[in-house]
Structure 1
């Protein structure tokens, strides 16, 4: 590999400052990066000339991100392939836990599996890409349902209706489903405790894109013979990390912690 070019690195450092602040002045950039004022002035001038930065209207001494970055970001978004990125992220997680990892999307009241990485254990979950399951019976499905608006949820699951059961543990009450979804929103994780398969537990986390909408869910599925409190804690942390990696690949940027 070649040597990193210091001037390019500094220019990128300047642009990345705007991830946390909508506008910055040259003195603020100088202070935050610890660079000489003349260096910052030259870099900001160059970035402005190339439309990577533009002066803020009414505040010409302050700068914001320019149209050129939007154009590049749009090209990046157009080239994203959710299924491809999901496969790679699922494989990374499966390599760490050696359990079956799925990524699924919501289609009406069903989930559709778009990516899968298998466990190497002789006893493992049997599933396939393209399979559809009732969303309310799966961990990944309930995670995706938690991202719906109240209006969309009411339309899909009227309170006076009854939900199909896949096992004796499935949620069949719309009221109980809403209570589950409230818990999922608070925790940021969803569990399937033998609700879609009598012998399988799952834990799922949300996947976001650059918009930032919840576009998918990632789950780790574990046969009940290998599921216990320790594994629940470990795989919960791992699927959260894996979903965050996939979200980052899709252009998601988490909100700054306040």
Structure 2
């Protein structure tokens, strides 16, 4: 591993303390939270202030908040961020580890749109395409994204008095049953599609968050049901959660708690 510079790491530690707080912080708080000598903290803070990464907001006692330079760098990163490109890169990594089809999708009304896809190299694989739209209620990615909405927002996207369209005999067609499943998904943190959009395909999905902690996409692994068993179930869940966390980090998200059990 390449050598790291301790002073730079400590300066980054100071800046990253603001990821977990909206408050202004003092040199004493920097030193206490990071276990650093006060003299070291003063030197680092003064350097960060001189470069615009911290701003002093009071003199006595001295308190600091993030400076405009952090905003400028974040804005440049955000402007150059491409969800489809980043999603494709993560999907390639996940697919390389499981050799199954991996999708990244976004919500569009009561449908999902696939923005990235990486195929399995196996002879039996899922037939789908980037840009394709499917009803959200019958896909793992769609149910995952619906679960990220409030119950009222979900209701607003679905027909009130009509059954949901059935794509296979396994598709959920009752709005009430869908709502119960979405509540379970909110608790579990992952969503499944057991032959609901394709009769012979099982999928598992996890949410992707952006820097505002909003679910902006979902990533899924799609596996022919003939290759799905209890052992692989656990492996696919762990892998899709890891992939979702990786893509979330690339979108600037703060870590979201513990993975689902």
In the superposition, the TM-score normalised over structure 2's length comes to 0.91
SS in 2 for 1:18: helix
Deviations 1:96-116 (A, max 9, x none): 111100000111111111101
1:45-124 alignment, distance < 5 Å: 45-56=46-57, 60-124=61-125
Q: Which residue of 2 aligns with 1:20?
A: 20
> In the aligned structure 1, how far is the partner of 2:4 from the partner of 2:253?
26
Q: Which residue of 2 aligns with 1:185?
A: 186
**Superposition deviation, residue 256 in structure 1:** 6.5
**Quick check: 13-22 or 124-133, which moved more?**
13-22
Deviations 1:169-221 (A, max 9, x none): 00111111111111111101000000001100000000011112111000000
> In the aligned structure 2, how far is the partner of 1:168 from the partner of 1:61?
66
Q: Which residue of 2 aligns with 1:9?
A: 9
**Superposition deviation, residue 3 in structure 1:** 5.7
1:207 aligns with 2:208: yes
> In the aligned structure 2, how far is the partner of 1:34 from the partner of 1:224?
52
Contact 1:207 1:244 in 2 (8 A): yes
Q: Which residue of 2 aligns with 1:169?
A: 170
Deviations 1:136-160 (A, max 9, x none): 1101111111112233222211442
SS in 1 for 2:171: coil
SS in 1 for 2:104: strand
SS in 2 for 1:164: coil
Q: Which residue of 2 aligns with 1:149?
A: 150
Q: 1:92 to 1:6 in 2, by over 3 A?
A: same
**Superposition deviation, residue 31 in structure 1:** 3.3
SS in 2 for 1:24: coil
**Superposition deviation, residue 2 in structure 1:** 8.0
> In the aligned structure 1, how far is the partner of 2:139 from the partner of 2:6?
50
**Superposition deviation, residue 128 in structure 1:** 1.0
In the superposition, the TM-score normalised over structure 1's length comes to 0.92
Deviations 1:26-70 (A, max 9, x none): 123233434333222122112122221123458641222122211
> In the aligned structure 1, how far is the partner of 2:221 from the partner of 2:85?
18
> In the aligned structure 2, how far is the partner of 1:6 from the partner of 1:239?
34
> In the aligned structure 2, how far is the partner of 1:145 from the partner of 1:177?
10
Q: 1:200 to 1:256 in 2, by over 3 A?
A: closer
Paired positions, count: 257
> In the aligned structure 1, how far is the partner of 2:25 from the partner of 2:158?
47
